[in-house]
A and B are shown apart, each in its own frame.
Chain A
């Protein structure tokens, strides 16, 4: 047992997570392939946004408004169901996954079904549809290529949109060979031809076609299905029975709403203006004039959704349109993969969904989140995923106890004060292998983890001789957070000096740290208390029109994105509007400044996330490196082998 494990209250689920993580980190090949897929998905999205000049901010706003009001409106589901029935379809409300399965079994039995063809439906994956149906003697075959690969491999999807992104062509060819019963060479076209032939036979002989739905439109009782391969069109028209499984959160009032969601979904999911096929189905059509045996069923699934809707901490998760964009930016998900960083729903948004739908005990992987906030930034519905993840961590910790190493880093504000007061002795001690061995066994701080050094002379002491400046250009509160105060005050001095020389008045009031580690480790109440204290201390400065500037990316992120949730109100909103990352602040104001920051990263402007550019694999080489380097790169250097995330400076 390592020190890390000793310090963690090792519930069975945490143990399983650690061993899965170790395995995942060893599987370099899958991991590299997966990382490449994420990178490509991000690039496709960015290319589309640029090509079509899409205003992501506007897309986020309209999508959020549509989803917020739809999810909250309980009558929509009724209206949708009424219209499906009016058109001759049958509707079944399934409280649980088991209810949904039972309904499908009943339909299958009645029509004597032996074979179901299924087009990609995450909602049916959620209820383990194929395995359950198999038990009653009905085989259910996935027809989306990625889903088929996953089904043949006996796995769960590694990504919502790219379910088999971790598989190589060779592995896929072997799996397909097994299914068709003859050797398929590892060539793209050979695999496609084999799959087309294999599934064509099944399409033509299946008794029931099961599809999901991206959107339900209440006013006409219609569903919208988006696919690229064309399997969705066949599943919904060849078999005599078409059965839809739709989550109750997918229903919107009107067609105009659906249009915006289709655009928001495809651009974020695959970087397409729209998927190749967008099908709108209102009932099961006749075939060559014959309606004999042609039935249409819609199963509306609750399975924890109404509970989520009524819980203010998690209702926003229902706004998810399943585009998978949050997965493509998540650094730890990208390295660990969706089987480790996920249950059935993988990735960042998978954390609240898993906790709510499958249970807290399945959501232990929440601890792999490093709270960088990129998922919220890229989400086309602007879902506050990081805050929901903090909530899941909080609940998990309440149930199973806090991790020792997290307790240690949450105490780092006080520890930094102590280490600074005792420097350079503390630095000498921290370099000793013996100290690190003790820290590892007592607190679980992995000995490979880089620890900062501490400075005896703190920032305020150092800048005192500089004065507070003329203020001819404006007034700034400089917020050093722990790093630029205790560890590298020279960083703070340089930043303050630049601000002063540009004509700003600079104040460094005594504030607490940003409290970021509390969010990272699920101690929301402590984070809220720090937020309130800091905001109150800032009030007089905000009243006088000071801006708030920090070299610490996590601190700016806290002020802009987290404090308004932790301490909602006019004060937090004012602080949000006044907060700036150091470089952004001087760049926005002084285009002609001699000092030039490195060229801006390929993320939307105004990014406030600690990870200021898309993460690179296992390293920090793509982060801006300059005299005023923030702490972001240190996050990634800390080494995931230690299992638990590093704190902010």
Chain B
């Protein structure tokens, strides 16, 4: 956990460790209101934590989209591209590389962490693994054990989108999110 937090800090990811439902709600509300989010998409948050997320969003004057299925693809893309924050679930944290591991089964969930300018990822403190060499075989297991018709779409994310293509200067915020928060759920 200590290494994970250090790595996140080095990579410009804002990390928050939360102890319970109340703290989770407060931290989420603060992030979204500080960033001035007006429309938020939520994807893949498990039931145990969905309540806290919903509670955080109530009272924010923002449009919230939790369910996209059933809408035409063009409309879905439009909603996701119009959102200014994505709140998503990460199955693991990777300490050494400061990465969060996102495993989803629908591209709309992947786009919730790629199109909006703000990305808030939730993950459990118990899910942190040591490094990529440990994490990639986990991905392999998930891919192998999924049936052909439902294969996972996997992304490791370690920080906001960045580029060095202008005179080798490190600049943040290109096509992906400009700001990334990791909310680490350390509920007892």
Please list the residues of chain A having a beta carbon within 8 angstroms of any beta carbon in chain B: 33, 36-37, 40-41, 52, 86-88, 143-146, 149, 162-165, 167-169, 172, 188-189, 191-192, 195-196, 199-200, 203-204, 217, 219-220, 222, 228-231, 233-234, 237-238, 240, 254-256, 258-260, 262-263, 270, 273-290, 292-293
Contact = CB atoms under 8 A, between A and B. Distances in A.
B174 A229 contact: yes
Given A233-B176, A259-B132, A292-B73, A145 B163 contact: yes
Contact of A230 (B97, B106, B166, B176): B176
A165 B168 contact: yes
B165 A200 contact: no
B133 A259 contact: yes
A88 B136 CA distance: 23
A41 B148 CA distance: 41
Contacts of A195: 174
B155 A231 contact: no
Interface stretch (B15-23, B28-36, B46-54, B110-118): B110-118
Interface stretch (B56-64, B120-128, B139-147): B139-147
B148 A88 contact: yes
Contact of A273 (B98, B148, B171): B98
A444 to B, nearest CB: 38
A139 B105 CA distance: 30
Given A286-B106, A287-B107, A162 B144 contact: no
B165 to A, nearest CB: 4
A192 B171 contact: yes
B174 A260 contact: no
A270 B174 CA distance: 17
Contacts of A52: 96
Contacts of A237: 107, 110-111, 114, 153
B177 interface: yes
B140 A169 contact: no
B175 A229 contact: yes
B76 A287 contact: yes
Contact of A288 (B68, B115, B165, B175): B68
Chain B, interface size: which category? Answer: 35 or more
26 contacts: A41-B168, A146-B163, A165-B168, A188-B169, A188-B171, A192-B174, A219-B140, A234-B111, A259-B132, A259-B137, A273-B96, A274-B132, A276-B176, A277-B161, A280-B139, A281-B153, A281-B154, A282-B151, A287-B108, A288-B71, A288-B73, A288-B76, A289-B70, A290-B72, A290-B73, A293-B73
Contact of A220 (B69, B144, B165): B144
Q: Closest 6 A-B residue pairs measured CB to CB?
A: A230-B176, A255-B140, A280-B154, A259-B136, A146-B165, A230-B161
B107 A274 contact: no
A87 B76 contact: no
Contact of B139 (A146, A191, A255): A255
A288 B153 contact: no
Nearest to B111: A237
A237 B136 CA distance: 21
A287 B153 CA distance: 12
A260 B117 CA distance: 31
B132 A262 contact: yes
A238 B97 contact: no
A112 B71 CA distance: 23
Contact of A285 (B7, B105, B169): B105
A322 B161 CA distance: 21
Interface in B163-183: 163-169, 171, 173-177
A172 B174 CA distance: 15
Nearest to B148: A87
Residue among A163, A217, A281 with the most chain B CB within 10 A? A281
B156 A278 contact: yes
A41 B174 CA distance: 20
A289 B174 contact: no
B174 A238 contact: no
A645 B165 CA distance: 32
B152 interface: yes
Given A229-B176, A231-B174, A258-B136, A276 B162 contact: yes
Contacts of B149: 88
A86 to B, nearest CB: 5
Nearest to B105: A285
Contacts of A228: 161-164, 174
A276 B76 contact: no
B85 to A, nearest CB: 16
Contact of A262 (B70, B136, B137): B136
A274 to B, nearest CB: 5
Contacts of A281: 153-154
A233 B107 CA distance: 10
A165 B177 CA distance: 24
B44 interface: no
A231 B175 contact: yes
Nearest to A144: B165
Contacts of A287: 73, 76-77, 106-108
A229 B174 CA distance: 6
A200 B152 CA distance: 25
B83 interface: no
Given A188-B171, A229-B161, A263-B132, A274 B166 contact: no
